[in-house]
Chain A
Amino acid sequence: MPKIQGSTTSDALKVNTIYGNLGYIAKNLADNKPGFMLQLVMPALIFMFLFQILPIFHGIYTSLTDYPLWQGYGTFVGLKNYISMLSKPHFYTVVLLNTVLFTIVAVTVEMCGGIAIGHLFNQSFRGEYLVRSLLLLPLMISRVISGVMVRWIFNDQYGILNVILRWIGIDPPSWFAERSTAMFLALLAEVWTWTPWYAIFVLAALQVQPVSPKEAARVDGANAWQVFRHVTLPFLRPVLAVCTLIRTFDAFAQFDHVWTITRGGPGRSTELLSVFAYKESFIYLKMGQGAAAGMISALVMLIFGLLLFRRFYRFTYRL
């Protein structure tokens, strides 16, 4: 084995004089592999532990208490929050249904749209740079602004879309007054924002796709759809899987669009789990109830995520 010169005693002493004892310990740790690995991962672990994992456990505790925000402390009540939430039909027919439908519809539409747009832009043409920048814009501007924008465009009296619809001769529905149309607007904002996310990944993948399998399929007499279905789609699968998983987590937890567009209204009919949790906590000031809703949504996503972990790992590393 060759002697590694970087770890001589004199070197360690030099570090010692500069940084004091701490530097000496750090240097010694870095000399062996586990110590170095620990140093690399420690800051990330500290931040995640203090500000994500610790709050989750605190959330489990809070969800078992009756905790009015103004009171500043909670009294232990056991599973009361969960029982009162899960025994109301509102939770199933509105909150849970909205969340699941919202996630499924948003992710599906975005994926199909993204694949189509990725294919559309997969060639070199003049103004390519400009076109791609324009495509990226929805992804880069704030969810709050896209939400507010949808609100403005669909405004019942003055919204430009209603003006155009009336001009064509269609009587526009009052978008924010019904559950289905209000939900549609939230979905529209979501799709508008996130379709480019898929488009970019698909485009990046298509540009490194080898040409020969496609040509071979063509020579064998496959038509365009068959080439897409049996050659391109399997090639895109890892990218799509990774994107879809992350997108599903985010769509399930979506808050910004629904909050800015409908605020859960009309009534409480367009609440998603996250909006429900927020309202219970900070509008009705029942922190225990809000934390319980948060824990339910965490549990659902945790189970979903754990079931698909192996896939995510395999596809990330192309194993």
Chain B
Amino acid sequence: MKGYRKVLWWTAVVLVLSFFTLPILWLIYSSFKSAADIYYAWKNFAMTLDNYVEIWEWLGNLDDAMINSAIVATLSTIFSLLVVMLSGYFLARFKETRSSKAFFFLIYVVRTIPIISWVIPLYLILQQWGLTDTITGLLFAHIAFHVCFFTIVLSGFYENIPRQLDEAARIDGCSRWGVFWRIAVPLIIPGLAASAILNWIWTWNEFLFALILTGYDTPMLTPSIVQFVHEMGMEWHLMAAASTVAIIPPIIVTFIAQRYIIMGYAAFAHEKA
């Protein structure tokens, strides 16, 4: 590209990027303003960390909420990867069989159904089992929800493994599980990393499950942030600080592991990235 075209191109890039990043920057910037200064856009102000101190003192359960969210995100990542590792292999390796096609159809059909349609009755079921407002109940919902997307993602990775490898190992005396653990799984470690990252971040960010399935005893991060806006008036400075804390993990992960995130998404569409 030469001359004016290059200028034009950079202008477009800058415009697009400012649309997507300036709101986040504004939120972070707002979190350093004191409660009095936050209502003035241009006024000179002193940077303060008071909001961060206050969200911890004022709302005693924010650190509980963060710990709970981290626990649920980690456990859900581990368990759903264990489940999906197997079902993704099933989908990819036995693609021609009728049962694999039926499974694909099943996860597709379940995925079409809006979350709200099954999470309201799930609340009633978990209530009968005594699992509402517990981490376990929330965890189950997350694992079930993640089956569809990550089965397809991992099957995208498994399909890239040449079948000759499997056959060679079988002829050399490896059992079916041996082929799975010794050949298939080591070859999709990048895929597992990508899925783990996406899975963790999604669970950390999730709102609807946390809103419905948990309550006072197990505060979760996202419903806690919404509380600052609605039930306690408009505590914008606290809300901005809590949001900033909540977006730290996604931001770090995006910058460090960008390649894996894109790889994971691309595998979902069976596209090589």
Contacts and interface: CB of A to CB of B under 8 A. Distances in A.
Interface of A: 2, 4-7, 11, 27, 30-31, 33-34, 36-37, 39-41, 43-45, 47-48, 50-56, 58-59, 62, 67, 117, 120-121, 129, 131-138, 140-146, 148-153, 155, 157-158, 160, 163, 192, 195-197, 200-201, 204-205, 207-208, 238-239, 242-243, 246, 249, 252-253, 255-256, 259-260, 263, 273-274, 277-278, 281-282, 287, 290-291, 294-295, 297-298, 301-302, 304-306, 309, 312-313, 316-318
Question: In this complex, which of A43, A58, A132, A260 has the most chain B Cβ atoms within 10 angstroms of its Cβ?
Answer: A43
Given A54-B125, A132-B258, A278 B116 contact: yes
B144 A149 contact: no
Given A52-B110, A305-B109, A208 B271 contact: yes
Interface in B88-119: 89-90, 94-95, 97, 99-101, 103-119
Interface of B: 9, 12-13, 16-17, 19-21, 23-24, 26-27, 30, 38-42, 82-84, 86-87, 89-90, 94-95, 97, 99-101, 103-122, 124-125, 140-141, 143-145, 147, 151-152, 170-171, 173-178, 201, 204-208, 212, 222, 225-226, 229-230, 236, 239-240, 243, 246-247, 250-251, 253-255, 258, 261-262, 265-266, 268-273
Contact of B112 (A287, A295, A304): A304
A41 B225 CA distance: 38
A55 B122 contact: yes
Given A41-B103, A135-B20, A145-B247, A318 B230 contact: no
Contacts of A301: 112-114
Contact of A51 (B20, B21, B124, B141): B141
A245 B40 CA distance: 43
Q: Interface on chain B toward A: helix, strand, loop, or mixed SS?
A: helix
B113 A298 contact: yes
B113 A302 contact: yes
Given A137-B21, A144-B207, A312-B108, A253 B114 contact: yes
B91 to A, nearest CB: 8
24 contacts: A27-B175, A31-B175, A34-B99, A44-B87, A44-B103, A51-B140, A52-B122, A56-B113, A58-B124, A59-B117, A138-B20, A141-B24, A141-B251, A152-B236, A158-B41, A197-B265, A249-B114, A253-B115, A278-B120, A278-B212, A281-B120, A298-B113, A298-B118, A316-B152
Contact of B271 (A6, A51, A204, A273): A204
A133 B250 CA distance: 11
B117 A298 contact: yes
The 8 A-B residue pairs with the shortest CB-CB distance, nearest first, are A305-B112, A253-B114, A5-B173, A142-B205, A59-B121, A294-B117, A51-B144, A44-B87
A44 B147 contact: yes
Contact of A242 (B104, B207, B261, B269): B269
Q: Interface on chain A toward B: helix, strand, loop, or mixed SS?
A: helix
A51 B258 contact: no
Contacts, number: 309
Contacts of B40: 158
Nearest to A243: B269
B178 A6 contact: yes
A144 B94 CA distance: 39
A45 to B, nearest CB: 8
A246 B109 contact: no
B30 A152 contact: yes
A142 B177 CA distance: 38
Contact of B177 (A30, A143, A145, A246): A30
A283 to B, nearest CB: 12
A282 B176 contact: no
B19 A192 contact: yes
A256 B207 contact: yes
Contact of B13 (A37, A121, A287, A298): A121
Contact of B261 (A140, A163, A255, A316): A140
B207 A142 contact: yes
A316 B100 CA distance: 14
A56 B258 contact: no
Contact of B173 (A4, A58, A144, A148): A4
B121 A56 contact: yes
